[in-house]
Chains A and B, each alone.
Chain A
Amino acid sequence: MKNINWKRPFKSRLRIALSLAVLSVALAPLALLTAAEGKGEKASKTEKPAEQGSVADASNKKPKVVLRKLSGAELYSMHCNRCHPERYPTERTAAQWKTILLHMRVRANLPASHARTILKYLQDNSGR
């Protein structure tokens, strides 16, 4: 075990500075990702063409944007692969997935709608 003289006050300030630095490094991409959020949302949106009308009306109206609901596979990738390697739907039966998803919904604190969509994806592709 390596002993270090902890009594230097400079050490505590250095530690706090390092802690803040690491947190900043971890959180700095948040600003970039927030700015990129608009692009990310556009990737999941489909645009409707602007309605026909007069030239003046068409220039003032913004095209309608329809949000596409995330699929079961997308939600599965988003929530489940965060914590563990992918478990293939064919590994379990439909009934077993129902039990396991109940466990994961509670453990990972998932919204009910997300859990149901993920369950349907797993059951539709289950082993038997």
Chain B
Amino acid sequence: MIMKTRSFALGCAAVCCALAVALPIRTVAAIDDQQFKELKDLVTNLGQKIEKQDQRIEQLEKTHTQDAQVHAQDQKAHEQDQQKIQELEQKLGETQRTVSDAQQQTAMAGPVEPLPRMPLEEATVNHNFSILGDAEVQFAKTSGQHGTFLFADFAPIFLYRGGENVLFEAGVDITLQNNADQNGNRTGGASTHFDLSFAQLDYLMNDYVTLVAGAMVLPLGTYEERTAGWLNKIPDDPLPRDLLPGAGVGAQLRGAVPLGQNGKLLNYSVWGVNGPSSADGTAGAGALDLGGNVGLRSDNAVANLHGHPSGGARLGAFMPFKPHYDLELGLSGQSGEWDDAGQHLWSAGVVDASLHLGANFDVKGEYIRSWYGSDDGNIRPEGWWVQSGYKLAGLNLDWPMINNLELVNRYDSIHDGLGTRTRRYTVGYIYYLSNTLLFEGDYEFLYGNDPTKNDQVIFQLSYGF
């Protein structure tokens, strides 16, 4: 029994010794080189982080210092603003006292009618100024004369829209001409001629009536209203247009009424103007003056040259059948006194027509008849013209430049009622360099007994803007 107990105790002691020897070895072997290296790296990283944190703290301290400085500046600016506000309040107070004093004085002076206020749509900033127009340069050769370059015309049109329903428009023709004396003898140099072709105020009273007043383009036929250097297909005007006044000083009502939804319409114009007059005060047949009665005489008297104004009217119908196929017809006339004594009437009637057959062909014309009494008897000038144009684009040829070419021709005839007759055949072309830049050329064959009219070739460059 005692041996067993001692044996058991010795065994336990041996186990304990073994454990005591084993444990310290494991404890020493728990931190080897690799782990030491990792610890070292860890400590190094921690040191770097601490260094970075120190730098950041330093930057924050600097920023805080700068913010403090800015805040100090803002504080100063705020104080200055406060001072300015106080000054403005003082001035406002003074102004209010001044206004109050003025009101008291006004009240003492008596009641004042309030100014009428314009309707809002007219008073808004809804105005616009535009310049349109055209300019032409020519080279012309008249039979029996030297060929020449010619600045034919510069015709600006000024438009001023004052609101929704009001337009003021004016057109000027500016030309150059060699100087001459009263007898027509050359004197050297050249002069610039300004001709106010029209200046009128347009007021749209409603959808169907427009009031026009001023030096108006007269709708005797349609040529005068639709003429411009870059619109006319031939450089010069039809001969019989000389039988009519192109403009007149007066007033007019005009408008248009659509008929249905397919574009048909009727339009009308009714006007009263001073009318034609006598160039020398007599009633001789050759004294008729179509454009010289504008209401302000050469002696500065404000007066019509004869007793009564002339009246006129035009009625027109436009009938489109399909795109680019349409017919327009119009009938117009004007009548009134012309001589100073008011003994004779001058009258004119015009039938106008325009036809489009497709996008490439058009034909138009006018028949003009006038008649007037005179001390030399009744005079009956008349004339007519017809003009056509064909754009070669209608041939559908794939040739270069051909699509920009249009062939034009015109026949016009005039009899002035005093024995002078002229017929003219014109053939020509238009080359469209662009939609607004035209190069035109034509040859005019003249027949008649007017010695001032001869065969002519004209080339023209025309620009519309």
Residues of A within 8 A of B (CB): 1-4, 6, 15, 19, 22-23, 26-27, 29-30, 33, 36-37, 39-41, 43-44, 67-70, 74-75, 77-78, 81-88, 95-96, 98-100, 102-103, 105-114
Contact = CB atoms under 8 A, between A and B. Distances in A.
Interface residues of B, number: 74
Q: Which of A4, A68, A102, A109 has the most CB of B within 10 A?
A: A109
A22 B202 contact: no
B232 to A, nearest CB: 10
Contacts of A98: 128, 161
Given A29-B357, A78-B326, A37 B321 contact: yes
Contacts of B254: 106, 109
Interface of B is mostly: strand
Contacts of B261: 44, 67-70
9 contacts: A26-B355, A39-B322, A67-B262, A78-B320, A87-B435, A107-B217, A107-B225, A109-B316, A114-B258
B225 to A, nearest CB: 6
B207 A112 contact: yes
A3 B436 contact: no
B432 interface: yes
Nearest to B129: A99
Interface of A is mostly: helix
Contacts of A19: 367, 384
Interface of B: 128-130, 132, 157, 159-161, 167, 169, 202, 204, 206-208, 210, 212, 217, 219, 225-226, 228, 230-231, 254-258, 260-263, 265, 267-269, 316, 319-328, 353-357, 359, 363, 365, 367, 384, 386, 411, 413, 421, 432, 435-436, 446-451, 453-454, 464
Contact of B208 (A77, A102, A112, A114): A112
Contact of A85 (B258, B325, B432): B432
Given A67-B262, A114-B265, A82 B354 contact: yes
B324 A77 contact: yes
